[in-house]
Amino acid sequence: LRLPLVRRLPDGARNHFIAMCGEYVGTVLFLYFALSGTQVANNINTSDGQSVAQTGANPQQLQYIALAFGFSLAVNAWVFFRISGGLFNPAVTFGMCLIGALPWIRGLLLFFVQILGGITAAALVACMFPGPLTVQTTLGGGTTTTQGLFIEMFLTAELVFTIFMLAAEKHKGTFIAPVGIGLALFVAEMTGVYFTGGSLNPARSFGPAVVNHDFNHYHWIYWLGPILGSIVAAGFYKFIKTLEYETANPDQDAAVEHPVHEEKFHRVGTNETAGTAGTVGTAATETTAKTMVGGNGNGVFGNGHAGNVHAGNGLAQTSVLGGGLMANPPTAVSRPDLAASRARSSRPRVTDSPAMA
């Protein structure tokens, strides 16, 4: 059942619309749960009655936020992968366009809904949870603006390259790619949260800034850093593709292992005798004649079991025993015309009779 308006759209426009809807909802859900975890970590009271936001960052807080982002991305990317690709990040979208995995028109449309999804998610967190919204990305630990820019760039490059190799490159493990991508974000957040807030995503930083009406003077690093990271990841990806990296470690994506075909022989035992060759068959049809071999009608090959020897064209095929080993004989191809010719040639030649003399 389709909506009347959607039914009238061309297939290309309809597919763009579906992808935009999926990407918007997916971005909202991803950032909602990620920012919710950040809000909890920044405002939960410690044993002395003070919030983490008042006492400063600690390892437990960093792990909590990193887990919230990593798990939220893994779950929602897995859910929305079939609808829109589950990107949820303008920097990732830009990188996918750079390597040709995503058309530029689709990338622009997804960029718009991703930014809108970031604003929506931040607004939902601000409305649902008590207290001020404390999820903005800020520099910490004495990090300078330049350092923050390069931290964002390298962390984003790691995330985007992971997405290239697990999702853009199709392989037998593609269906579990969201797990690896979520772990990549978790690892990046473990480093980035303390120094830059761990954005790696312009929509993640832009949404809370819009809701709080507060843009830091270095807010631009949360745009330029991830974009540069995508360029670095795309450049390295194209470099290894040019080198045909698949040849360096082949058969990693083989569905099944190729078995080694070997000739199977059996040594003739002391109590086993080889069957004697059968009589010559006279095949006159297109079907392959089977010549009976051995005393029981079948040749006894090594292990005492009967084996059929096929004869075609009126000629018997015999199996050769060499060194006590018996190989399976090949099947002859029937040649009716050749069989008939040889049958005629095998008749007794008529000599001159006295009557003819």
CATH number of 4-247: 1.20.1080.10
pLDDT band at 95, cuts 50/70/90? very high
pLDDT at 346: 53
In the chain, what are the domain boundaries? 4-247, 266-346
- Report how far residue 21's alpha carbon sits from residue 107's, in angstroms, rounded to the nearest whole number: 14
Q: pLDDT of 236-279, one tens digit each? A: 999 999 999 888 888 776 654 444 444 444 454 545 555 554 44
pLDDT band at 171, cuts 50/70/90? confident
The residue-averaged pLDDT of 288-302 equals: 41
pLDDT band at 207, cuts 50/70/90? very high
pTM score above 0.85: no
Residue 306 has pLDDT above 50, yes or no: no
User: Phi, psi at residue 287, to the nearest 5°?
Assistant: -80, 150
Q: Higher pLDDT residue, 253 or 280?
A: 253
Average pLDDT over the chain, rounded to an integer: 78
pLDDT at 28: 98
pLDDT band at 88, cuts 50/70/90? very high
pLDDT band at 45, cuts 50/70/90? low
The residue-averaged pLDDT of 36-46 equals: 85
pLDDT at 342: 57
Which of 89-93, 168-172, 184-188 comes out lowest in average pLDDT?
A: 168-172
pLDDT at 119: 98
pLDDT at 174: 82
- Report how far residue 267's alpha carbon sits from residue 259's, in angstroms, rounded to the nearest whole number: 24
Burial 103-130 (b: 16+ CB within 10 A, else e): eeebbebbbebbbbbbbbbbbbbbeebe
- Report how far residue 118's alpha carbon sits from residue 193's, in angstroms, rounded to the nearest whole number: 18
pLDDT band at 194, cuts 50/70/90? very high
Q: Higher pLDDT residue, 203 or 315?
A: 203
- Beta-carbon count within 10 A of 342 CB: 14
Which H or E run includes 289? strand 289-291
Residue 281 near residue 290 (C-beta atoms within 8 A): yes
Which of 119-128, 257-266, 270-279, 335-344 comes out lowest in average pLDDT?
A: 257-266
Half-sphere exposure of 7 (CA within 13 A, CB side): 4
Q: Higher pLDDT residue, 197 or 339?
A: 197
